[in-house]
Amino acid sequence: MKKIICVILALALGITACLSMAGCSTNDTVENLEGEYTTEYAGTTLNVFNWALYISDGIEGSLDVNAAFEKLTGIDVNYSTYDSNEAMYGKMKSGAVAYDIVIPSDYMIQRMINEDMLREIDVTKLSNYHYIDDKYKGLYYDPDNKYSVAYNVGMVGLIYNTTLVEEAPTSWKVMWDERYTGNVLTFNNPRDAFAIAQFALNIDLNTTDIAEWNRAADYLKQQNKILQGRVMDEVFNKMESANAAIAPYYAGDFLSMQEENEDLAFVYPEEGTNIFVDAICIPENCQNYEAALMYINFLMEPEVALANAEYIYYASPNTAVVNNENYSLKDNEILYPEVEPKTQYFHDLPSDVRTHYENLWNEVILAD
Amino acid sequence: MTKRSARQALINAPYMLWAGIFIVVPLFIVMYYAFTDSTGAFSFANILALADYAEVFRVSIIFSVIATIITLLIGYPFAYCLTKLPVRAQRMQMMLVMLPMWMNLLIRTYSWMNILEKNGLINTVLSGLGLPTANMIGTPGAVILGMVYNYLPYMILPIYTTMAKIDPSLSEAAEDLGCNAWQKMRRLIVPMSIPGVVSGITMVFVPSISTFYISQKLGGGKILLIGDIIERQIQVSYNYNLGASLSFVLMVLILISMAIMNRFSNGEGEMVV
């Protein structure tokens, strides 16, 4: 009996060993490097703070970007993640942490620049900077390209289940359509949920006019009886298993939902939609500036950027990716629409406007 | 005598230090934030702003009271039946009560989402049997179900513990003196188990009233509890002051309700409900 147990244990050990060996064979080598990378900073640590699931991590044979950078430069990448701009901002503001790389969205970059939280990036030291499409340079939050390098671009659109809608929607107003009562989802955060009402009512997303915010809030209250719920990442599960007919979400995320459920379709509503750019920045209290520059350059490497674009599914601002014949999403009509939809960026709003719409948001939910 | 108390103090010291650093100091930090504005100046603004949240407090209190009553109604008979089982079976049953708690709250709540969903487990079974389906997710009922499910063990455990301690000879004596089952329950078991009920109520009510994750997921973002508001002040709005003052008021509410509950348990066994 004892012998049998020994044999089983030995087998189990052997299997785990095999599995961990397989785990070691991840792809951490970039074949064709265009920039210069030194091992001058080997042994130092680079603290990277990024969105969750926002870098190719070696899963299913993809490139493990951080491991590849470590292997190349000897720098130890200490990688941590957040799931909202606000959570990231709060953590940075608390002063308890010092990061060398952070990847906020446009309006948050604007706020961080205004509050002197970012350090200037010397783009002349970034040999791969020319790969960034000019469309994503000199944007409103950083007109002189001093603080940020675009990492990903995305737009919000309407995801709908073709078997559950009577005709393909073209307007945000479908989210107020009584035929779909109990079948509509919306964002569970005030800014994104208000944006939909603002587009439907033709109000500027960045208005500082309190009366216009109130008008949007009244419109949102009318939506309460139609809504099935307010969700963030739960939307994947709900749309993939046809629990709801209509939901607004990001174009890139729609592509992954569609892989799970072919009945899903996507549209950029005619009133326009929210566009965002997430860009790489260096915080003011960065401890390893030169290594951070090297990391930014590495992220712009054609091969690295391609691996990230394939993994993240968002639109890439990197021309080497967009024009690459091997890019599986090349010319994808959802990520890179031929006729560009009307778009608006979020801008950072004054804190009294923020407080106002947050209170309105509570009112909207309580009116439910 | 002094020697002994000095030694006692020395033994207590690490605990006192721990409690001081991790319980008392943070409470003062919460108080500090609650009574200052974003520049650090003394201010009642946050406390005054709480009037806007009266409705949220009201909803949270109603939800947690309902959840506490339901857990008590389920937990009390359950604990009683448990004490009537053979010891081995009791241990097994306790294991089963504790088992779900080994899993993370987030995973348990996510699983409930899949069960209650429009095309979820329950509705799939219902429609498979040709019955009409029910709309469960995003309703107050779903949130209360989540609270009851998650906090039920906290009700069962203390009640079971006090009931198990009731001397069986008391029960026999009651029977000898002519009590029927109902009288025995009313005059012996219930009064003797009051301390367990009180701590069970406290242990369920406190987490219920500060619930946040469950209401977001099972309430489908349609139900707003005070815990959700506090979480948003800290995570999204970066308004620690308002978040702290909401937490502060919540703490006061909890302390008041605990004080009321303690009055009930002071009489210990002599209490008659």
Pick the CATH number of B45-270 from 1.10.3720.10, 3.30.465.10, 3.40.50.1100, 3.40.50.720: 1.10.3720.10
Residue A164 touches chain B, beta carbons under 8 Å? no
Choose among A184, A189, A162, A164: nearest CA to A173.
A184
Side-chain-side CA neighbours of residue B53 (13 Å): 24
Provide the token pair at A8: 């089983």
CB B171 within 8 A of CB B80: no
For chain B, the structural domain boundaries read 1-34, 45-270
User: pLDDT confidence of B178, banded at 50, 70, 90?
Assistant: confident
Summarize the confidence of residues A311-335 as an average pLDDT.
Answer: 95
A172 and A189 co-located in one domain: yes
Summarize the confidence of residues B108-128 as an average pLDDT.
Answer: 92
Side-chain-side CA neighbours of residue B254 (13 Å): 19
For chain A, percent of residues with pLDDT exceeding 70: 93
A221 and A170 co-located in one domain: yes
**For the residues of A42-84, what is the DSSP string, one character each?**
TT-EEEEEEETT-S-BSGGG-BBHHHHHHHHH--EEEEEEESS
A79 and A205 co-located in one domain: no
**A13 part of a folded domain:** no
**For the residues of A297-327, what is the DSSP string, one character each?**
HHHTSHHHHHHHHHHH-SBP-BHHHHT-TT-
Contact A362 B237 (CB under 8 A): no
In the predicted structure, residue B67 carries a pLDDT above the cut 60: yes
Choose among A311, A362, A344, A335: nearest CA to A51.
A311
In the predicted structure, residue A1 carries a pLDDT above the cut 90: no
* Confidence at residue A3, expressed as pLDDT on a 0 to 100 scale: 59
Summarize the confidence of residues B70-86 as an average pLDDT.
Answer: 95
In the predicted structure, residue B271 carries a pLDDT above the cut 50: no
In the predicted structure, residue B258 carries a pLDDT above the cut 90: no
Q: What is the ipTM of this complex?
A: 0.82
Contact A243 B119 (CB under 8 A): yes
* Confidence at residue A13, expressed as pLDDT on a 0 to 100 scale: 59
* Confidence at residue B171, expressed as pLDDT on a 0 to 100 scale: 86
Helices (H), strands (E): how many in chain B? 14, 0
Provide the token pair at B9: 């103090």
User: pLDDT confidence of B45, banded at 50, 70, 90?
Assistant: confident
| pLDDT greater at residue A160 or residue A59 | A160
* Confidence at residue B20, expressed as pLDDT on a 0 to 100 scale: 92
Side-chain-side CA neighbours of residue A97 (13 Å): 21
Place of tokens 């490139």: A63
**A39 part of a folded domain:** no
Q: Residue A196 maps to which CATH number?
A: 3.40.190.10
Average pLDDT over chain A, rounded to an integer: 92
User: pLDDT confidence of A50, banded at 50, 70, 90?
Assistant: very high
A50 and A138 co-located in one domain: yes
Place of tokens 């003052």: B245
**A51 part of a folded domain:** yes
Q: How many domains does chain A have?
A: 2
Contact B222 A93 (CB under 8 A): no
pTM flag (> 0.95): no
A163 and A246 co-located in one domain: yes
A168 and A248 co-located in one domain: yes
Question: DSSP state, A225?
Answer: T
Rounded Cα–Cα distance for residues A308 and A302 (Å): 10
Beta-carbon count within 10 A of B28 CB = 9
Choose among B55, B73, B114: nearest CA to B201.
B73
Residues spanned by the domain of A115: 45-147+276-322
User: pLDDT confidence of A8, banded at 50, 70, 90?
Assistant: low
Q: What residues contact residue A276 under an 8 Å CB cut-off, 6+ apart?
A: A105, A106, A153, A154, A155, A345, A346
pLDDT tens digit string along A124-145?
999 999 999 999 999 999 999 9
| pLDDT greater at residue A9 or residue A349 | A349
Compare all CA atoms of chain B with the CA of A352 and give the residue at the minimum distance. Answer: B237
Residue A96 touches chain B, beta carbons under 8 Å? no
In the predicted structure, residue A230 carries a pLDDT above the cut 50: yes
User: pLDDT confidence of B272, banded at 50, 70, 90?
Assistant: very low
Angle formed at CA A83 by CA A247 and CA A139, multiple of 5 degrees: 80
In the predicted structure, residue B270 carries a pLDDT above the cut 50: no
In the predicted structure, residue B36 carries a pLDDT above the cut 60: yes
A72 and A106 co-located in one domain: yes
A268 and A298 co-located in one domain: no
Rounded Cα–Cα distance for residues A37 and A160 (Å): 46
3-state secondary structure (DSSP) of residue A335 = coil
* Confidence at residue B52, expressed as pLDDT on a 0 to 100 scale: 85
| pLDDT greater at residue B7 or residue A276 | A276
In the predicted structure, residue B101 carries a pLDDT above the cut 90: no
Rounded Cα–Cα distance for residues A306 and A314 (Å): 11
Task: Provide, as residue numbers in chain A, all residues whose Cβ is less than 8 Å from the Cβ of B216.
Answer: 188
| pLDDT greater at residue B235 or residue B18 | B18
List phi, psi (to 5°) of A306.
-65, -45
Place of tokens 């309460």: A224
Summarize the confidence of residues A326-334 as an average pLDDT.
Answer: 94
Task: Provide, as residue numbers in chain B, all residues whose Cβ is less than 8 Å from the Cβ of A230.
Answer: 220-222
* Confidence at residue A280, expressed as pLDDT on a 0 to 100 scale: 97
CB A271 within 8 A of CB A172: yes
Task: Provide, as residue numbers in chain A, all residues whose Cβ is less than 8 Å from the Cβ of B236.
Answer: 84, 86-87, 189
In the predicted structure, residue A18 carries a pLDDT above the cut 60: no
CB A258 within 8 A of CB A95: no
Q: How far apart are the first and last CA of chain B?
A: 43
Rounded Cα–Cα distance for residues B62 and B149 (Å): 17
* Confidence at residue B4, expressed as pLDDT on a 0 to 100 scale: 72
Which of A291-300, B53-62, B176-185 has the weakest average pLDDT? B176-185
* Confidence at residue A2, expressed as pLDDT on a 0 to 100 scale: 57
Provide the token pair at A309: 């674009």
Rounded Cα–Cα distance for residues B144 and B136 (Å): 11
**Across the interface, which of B52, B137, B236 has its CB nearest the CB of A359?**
B52
Choose among B151, B266, B267: nearest CA to B214.
B151
User: pLDDT confidence of A15, banded at 50, 70, 90?
Assistant: low
Contact B235 A182 (CB under 8 A): no
pLDDT tens digit string along A167-217?
999 999 999 999 999 999 999 999 999 999 999 999 999 999 999 999 999
Average pLDDT over chain B, rounded to an integer: 89
In the predicted structure, residue B21 carries a pLDDT above the cut 50: yes
A60 and A78 co-located in one domain: yes
A83 and A184 co-located in one domain: no
Summarize the confidence of residues B236-245 as an average pLDDT.
Answer: 88
In the predicted structure, residue B267 carries a pLDDT above the cut 70: no
Rounded Cα–Cα distance for residues B80 and B159 (Å): 8
In the predicted structure, residue A159 carries a pLDDT above the cut 80: yes
* Confidence at residue B5, expressed as pLDDT on a 0 to 100 scale: 83
In the predicted structure, residue B235 carries a pLDDT above the cut 50: yes
Question: DSSP state, A236?
Answer: H
Angle formed at CA B223 by CA B222 and CA B227, multiple of 5 degrees: 135
In the predicted structure, residue B156 carries a pLDDT above the cut 80: yes
Buried b (16+ CB within 10 A) or exposed e, B221-242: bbbbbbbbbbbbbbbbbbbbbb
Task: Provide, as residue numbers in chain B, all residues whose Cβ is less than 8 Å from the Cβ of A349.
Answer: none
Rounded Cα–Cα distance for residues B213 and A227 (Å): 20
In the predicted structure, residue B26 carries a pLDDT above the cut 90: yes
Rounded Cα–Cα distance for residues A185 and A86 (Å): 22
* Confidence at residue A11, expressed as pLDDT on a 0 to 100 scale: 61
How many angstroms separate the CA of residue A301 from the nearest CA in chain B? 34
Which of A331-340, B48-57, B191-200 has the weakest average pLDDT? B48-57
Q: What residues contact residue A29 under an 8 Å CB cut-off, 6+ apart?
A: A68, A71
Rounded Cα–Cα distance for residues A103 and A108 (Å): 10
A219 and A162 co-located in one domain: yes
Compare all CA atoms of chain B with the CA of A184 and give the residue at the minimum distance. Answer: B220
A168 and A268 co-located in one domain: yes
**A332 part of a folded domain:** no
